[in-house]
Structure 1
Amino acid sequence: MKNKLILVLGLIALGLGCLLAYKIAKKYPHNKEMALQKQTLPNFQLYSQNLKPFSAKQLKENEAICIFYYNAECEHCQYEATQINKQLTLFKNVQIVMISTNKPQETANFAKTYKLDKAGLIWLYDKDYAFYKWFGKSVTPSVYIYNAEHKLVKEYTGEVKIEAVIKYLDNGKEG
């Protein structure tokens, strides 16, 4: 009886292992495609805070871009916002794009709370939860740094110190 139980449990474990391996192998091409897609700034289409469509083509050419994917209620995102405010002068030749699924009023409150409302940042609303289509699955906060040629230089998932972001902003070179 004990041997049959061990055999059944072993077969179940083997079956689960095969299922897991299959699911991982099935997702690998998609993940690889996403990684390649974001190597050059994707032509994402989101919304401005007044709900007008906003495309990546509306960003300035020949200027670095720093995308912060955040959530106003996330304490790590709040920390990063505080740090951006403290280091804002170091972003003077960079387009800062703040993207969130927060409604425009929540974003306005967030921007005002962290004194970023008059800083010239681009605030975008991911109304349709479509960010993943261009950047893959992302946690909040996530940061994507593109150089002046709009090539991905560095990507961070999770909280990151702003000093780490800034070192990649000088024409995409670690400095």
Structure 2
Amino acid sequence: MINKKVIGSMAAVALALLILFLSFIIYNKASHRKYVTEKTKRLQALKLKTISGTDYTLPTGKQLLIILFNTTCEHCMAEAKALSKTIHSFEDATIVMVSTESLEEIRNFSRDYDLNNYTNVFFTSIDDTELYNAFGTVNYPEIFIYSSDGDLVKQFKGETKPEAILKYISK
């Protein structure tokens, strides 16, 4: 029969290993969050596909809104509806809608919210890993506004009224 002292020692070692493992995970997440925060301060190249399946390169020299969204997210739907109603106020910026979903789902979303016929709005798909590496853990919708020089002007997490976004778009 195993001695109570041995069982206690094994439990203490197991607990210590669990605490060490959890500390490692927390440290890694915090390090990644700090890395992403620094990385998003400047516009970076992303591997994006348009809803027609072609590669898409983020434009430079013009203000840019990157909107991370999910087609089943109610807040994203509300954001798209509000954006659609005020789209003409955003004509001085390029809007790139980015999702990890299939091109068909993204295409349908763009049509549902009548955002598919504007020359300054682009719907794109990104790989899950690419999204995580570029933006970390995302709370949909999430908006990044970049200046024409590629510097981060403002980041919004969650549903945001167009009026709040427009405060950071220069005419």
TM-score normalised according to structure 1 size: 0.80
> 1:161 aligned to 2:136?
no
Task: Give 3-state SS (helix, strand or coil) of 1:150's partner.
Answer: coil
Structure 1: stretches of 5+ with no match in the other structure: 1-6
| 2:138 match | 138
| 1:69 match | 68
Distance 1:166 1:68 in 2: 14
Deviation (angstroms), 1:52: 1.9
Deviation (angstroms), 1:163: 1.4
Deviation (angstroms), 1:75: 0.9
Deviation (angstroms), 1:18: 5.7
Task: Give 3-state SS (helix, strand or coil) of 1:40's partner.
Answer: coil
Task: State the Cα RMSD in Å.
Answer: 2.3
Distance 1:103 1:169 in 2: 30
| 1:3 match | none
Describe how 1:1-175 pairs up with structure 2 within 5 A: 19-56=21-58, 59=59, 61-120=60-119, 121-126=121-126, 128-129=127-128, 130-170=130-170
**Equivalent AA in structure 2 for residue 122 of structure 1:** F
Distance 1:116 1:92 in 2: 13
Q: Aligned pair in 2 of structure 1 residues 16, 160: CA closer, same or farther (>3 Å)?
A: farther
Distance 2:134 2:39 in 1: 7
Write out per-residue CA displacement over residues 99-154 of structure 1, whole angstroms, 9 at most, x where no aligned residue: 1122222222211211111122111112x322122122212211111011111111
Deviation (angstroms), 1:169: 1.2
**Equivalent AA in structure 1 for residue 107 of structure 2:** A
**Equivalent AA in structure 2 for residue 69 of structure 1:** L
Structure 2: stretches of 5+ with no match in the other structure: 1-7
CA contact (8 A) 2:32 2:136 kept: no
Task: Count residues in correspondence.
Answer: 161
Q: Aligned pair in 2 of structure 1 residues 107, 22: CA closer, same or farther (>3 Å)?
A: closer
Deviation (angstroms), 1:164: 1.3
Deviation (angstroms), 1:47: 0.9
| 2:3 match | none
TM-score normalised according to structure 2 size: 0.82
Distance 2:20 2:161 in 1: 40
Deviation (angstroms), 1:29: 2.4
Tell me which moved more, 87-96 or 22-31: 22-31
Write out per-residue CA displacement over residues 5-54 of structure 1, whole angstroms, 9 at most, x where no aligned residue: xx9xxx79887666544432233222211111111001111111122222
**Equivalent AA in structure 2 for residue 48 of structure 1:** T
